[in-house]
Every structure is written in C-alpha cells, then in structure tokens.
C-alpha cells in the first residue's frame, strides 16, 4: 500500500468521524432546544393574563351602561304598548279601568262591568309584561303628572321616585 492511499484512508476515516460528531452535536442541540421551547415562561403567562384582564375591564365598562339603557328602553316600549291598550279599552268601553281593576282589565273582563258586551274578545293584551327589573307595571287612574292616567315601572329599585337606573319610567317621561 502506498503512502498516498494510506493518507486517503486516514482522511476518509477522519471525515466520517467528523460528520458523525457533527450529527451527534446537532441532535443534542435540537433535543436541548426542543426541551426549552415546549412551554411558556412565567413572565409570558403573566403578560397574557394582564392583557386579558385589561380587555375584560374595557368590555365591562362599555357593555354594562348599554344594558342599563336597553332596560330603560324596553320599559318605555312596554309602557307605550300598555298606554295604547288603555286608550283602545277606553274607546270600546267609554271609560278607563279604575284603580281596583288596574291593568288586569286589559287581559280579562273585569267583574261588575256596566256593559260587558263592549269588552273586546281576547282582551287588549295577551298577557301583562313584567318590567325589565322583574316587577309589575303600575297603573293609576288619576294621573299625578297631568295626563289622563299613569302607567309606569318603579325602576331598578322597585320604589317610587329615584334617579338614574332607579328612576320611574312612565307615560309622562320622554
């Protein structure tokens, strides 16, 4: 065997060994990098939690007042519907229901009515709605606000008067 061929053999063995070492090193680095990259750090998790908290706060600040306005709007719509039903009742029966008959006179024929034949079949509303806060709508034949009658909700607090969400919503409010 010549010296040149012997040198070629040694160089070839060294190349194979170097390539094997590189492959092992790359494999070890890949395993180490994969082990490090599998999860999130505590700082990353805390940043995400803070961002979610800020977003929830912004949404709550913007949505809650909208819900309150929607409840007042629903109460106004219900009051307008009841007011219209009372006007229709008066056109048919020539009088408004008295305080004792109340809004129930719109659903069923009141007892002791002078002309029961004038009462509309099926009533004037299918059922009496609850106000958005879960209370019953109120009726007062003698208006305290200058109208022919008062139909109103007691608001969020369920008491007469109040301000903001607790204010009464009636046929005298705009």
Q: What is the torsion angle, in degrees rounded to the nearest 10, for the CA atoms of residue 134, residue 139, residue 144 and residue 146?
A: 110
Give strand pairing partners of 138: 152
Query: Per the structure block, which two tokens stand in for 88?
Result: 């229709």
pLDDT at position 101: 92
* Residues 67 and 61: beta-carbon distance below 8 Å: no
How far is residue 66's CA from residue 70's CA, in Å, rounded to a whole number?
Answer: 6
Q: Do 110 and 97 contact (CB within 8 A), yes or no?
A: yes
Name the token pair of 75: 């109460």
Whether the full predicted model's pTM is greater than 0.85, yes or no, is no
Identify the CA nearest to 132 among candidates 64, 69, 85, 174: 69
- Mean local confidence (pLDDT), 63-76: 87
CB 88 within 8 A of CB 124: yes
Using one digit for the tens of pLDDT, what is the confidence trace for 100-146?
999 999 999 998 888 889 999 999 999 999 999 999 999 999 988 88
Q: Tens digit of pLDDT for each residue in 11-69?
A: 888 888 888 888 888 888 777 766 666 678 999 999 999 999 999 999 888 887 888 88
Q: Using an 8 Å Cβ cutoff, are 133 and 155 in contact? A: yes
Average pLDDT value for the chain:
88
When pLDDT is cut at 50, 70 and 90, the band that residue 95 belongs to is very high
Q: 148 with 96: CB under 8 angstroms?
A: yes
């Amino acid at each position: 065997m010549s010296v040149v061929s012997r040198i070629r053999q040694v160089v070839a063995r060294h190349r194979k060994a170097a390539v094997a070492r590189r492959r092992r090193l790359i494999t070890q680095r890949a395993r180490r990098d994969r082990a490090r990259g599998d999860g999130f750090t505590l700082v990353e998790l805390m940043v995400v939690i803070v961002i979610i908290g800020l977003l929830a706060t912004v949404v709550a600040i913007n949505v809650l007042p909208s819900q309150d306005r929607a409840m007042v709007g629903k109460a106004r719509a219900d009051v307008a519907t009841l007011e219209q039903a009372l006007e229709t009742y008066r056109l048919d029966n020539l009088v408004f229901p008295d305080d004792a008959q109340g809004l129930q006179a719109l659903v069923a024929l009141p007892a002791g009515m002078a002309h029961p034949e004038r009462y509309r079949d099926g009533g004037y509303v299918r059922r009496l709605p609850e106000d958005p806060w879960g209370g019953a709508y109120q009726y007062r034949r003698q208006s305290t606000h200058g109208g022919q009658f008062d139909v109103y909700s007691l608001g969020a607090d369920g008491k007469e008067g109040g301000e903001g969400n607790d204010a009464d919503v009636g046929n005298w409010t705009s």
